[in-house]
Amino acid sequence: MSIKHLTNQEIALRLARSLRAWRVDPNGAGMTQAELCRKSGVGLTPLKRFEKTGGTTLSNLVAIFRALDLLDRLEDLVPEPGSPGPLELLKTDRAKTQRQRAPRSTSTRDQKGPGQDRTRKHG
């Protein structure tokens, strides 16, 4: 789902909710707010504000990602200079997945003479 239609605040809130869901999920980080505060160094009040509103500093956000063991995800936010852009990647992907027809075989048509039945009859 595209987030282009959302405001900056809505995107921040969506990120905060996703991180909160990861924090509490037993299959994710599985930790309380107090544990995340202790591990990240972010105060409890700024963490609660972030999870409620999406507002925080970049330093706190990086600390939260680090404490949740998600820091490697931040590397994917900005592509390397000189790397292909999204449209170029899409074109490449479409070219790879486009199906091609097999060439028509003329050998069976050429082998039969005129007037010979080219369809197989069952019966």
pLDDT by residue (tens digit) across 5-24? 999 999 999 999 999 999 99
pLDDT at 117: 55
Planar angle of CA 87, 91, 95, nearest 5 degrees: 170
pLDDT at 90: 81
* Distances, alpha carbon 15 to alpha carbons 3, 8, 43, 56, 113, in Å: 11, 11, 19, 11, 71
Which CATH superfamily, name and number, covers 8-76?
A: lambda repressor-like DNA-binding domains (1.10.260.40)
pLDDT at 2: 82
* pLDDT bracket for residue 121 (50, 70, 90): low
Give the C-alpha separation, 103 to 110, whole Å. Answer: 15
